[in-house]
Amino acid sequence: MSMIPGDAAVRRFRRCFSALSAALALIGTAVFLSACGEEAGSADKLVMVTEATFPPYEFRMGREVIGVDVDIVRAVAEELGRKLEIKDAAFDSVIAHVITGKADIAASGITVTEERKKNVLFSIPYVTAAQLIIVMKDSRIDSAAALKNNVRIGVQSGTTGFDYVRNNIITDKSSPLLAQFPNGALAVEAMKAGKIDAVILDAGPAQALVAQNGGTITVLPEPLTSEEYAIAVSKQNRELCRTIDKVIRRLKESGGLREIFDRNKALAEQHRKLQERQQETSSS
């Protein structure tokens, strides 16, 4: 398959065009919009994009992606009478997915920022979160201030954790001290291998990683930031954004959101124990 830029777009157009002409021949022009909504926005499905290594917000249980964000968006899909489809993508591409219409909704523990607000619409927030510092249990790093002493720091690419470090700790763009990873778990692996000294990550997955790494790593109690997570949609999708707000408001008022958090934290913990047992049996 050739990789000429734009090739994929042409193929998509051709696919869309042939689907369209077939549909038109069968049932007339009413099908036009849904036929071209091949990737997202079709009448009967709601496409959510996420990066599924972020418990308890999104993680895999077997092949299935589950989590707090999935449950919230499932409630939105139910409200709209649409079927939920989930795409798992790199975190630094989830906003682009909604801008380009490859997904209707980005729900991925996304922090609301002024920069992102220029490109997408955000729902009302559904949780307050923070960046935390993860270090090895025997590390001499014991505070945010200590991060400034030539510490090698790992972050997940495209995140507010990266922004925090870049704006406050390692401001020199050419510094080799700042390393980016596709997700927090890989950053922690690099730290365990002695390649970096600290990882800056959102509190939810940071705590899950500490639980997973049986006493070898820890999080420092002092949060670096206070952030709010919300769901992102295209600027063209104001109506969808209003529906998401309505669903989040309802879940907050009914206590449903609390239940969603409790259930997914328990599931993430169960999943972790299961993995631990599997590792024990495979190594014994």
User: What CA–CA distance (Å, rounded) separates 107 from 60?
Assistant: 15
Q: Are strands 105-106 and 232-234 parallel, antiparallel or unpaired?
A: antiparallel
Site string for ligand GLN, 131-160 (x = CB under 6 A): -------------------------x--xx
Q: What minimum distance in Å lies between the beta carbon of 126 and ligand GLN?
A: 12
Residue 110 Cβ vs ligand GLN, minimum distance, rounded to whole Å: 5
Our CB check for ligand GLN shows the closer of 156 and 264 to be 156
Residues 250 and 165: beta-carbon distance below 8 Å: no
DSSP label of 133? E
Q: How far is the CB of 113 from ligand GLN (least distance, A)?
A: 7
CB of 160 to ligand GLN, least distance (A): 4
Query: How far is residue 142 CA from its own chain's centroid?
Result: 28
In the set 35, 51, 185, 264, which binds ligand GLN (CB under 6 A)?
51
Contacts with ligand GLN in 205-234 (CB under 6 A)?
Answer: none
User: 113 and 204 in contact (C-beta within 8 Å)?
Assistant: no
Do residues 196 and 190 make contact, with C-beta atoms less than 8 angstroms apart?
A: yes
Cβ neighbours of residue 249 closer than 8 Å, sequence gap 6 or more:
124
Instruction: Using CB under 6 A, pick the residue from 36, 40, 41, 54 that binds ligand GLN.
Output: 54
Q: Which residues bind ligand GLN (CB under 6 A)?
A: 51, 54, 91, 108-111, 156, 159-160, 202
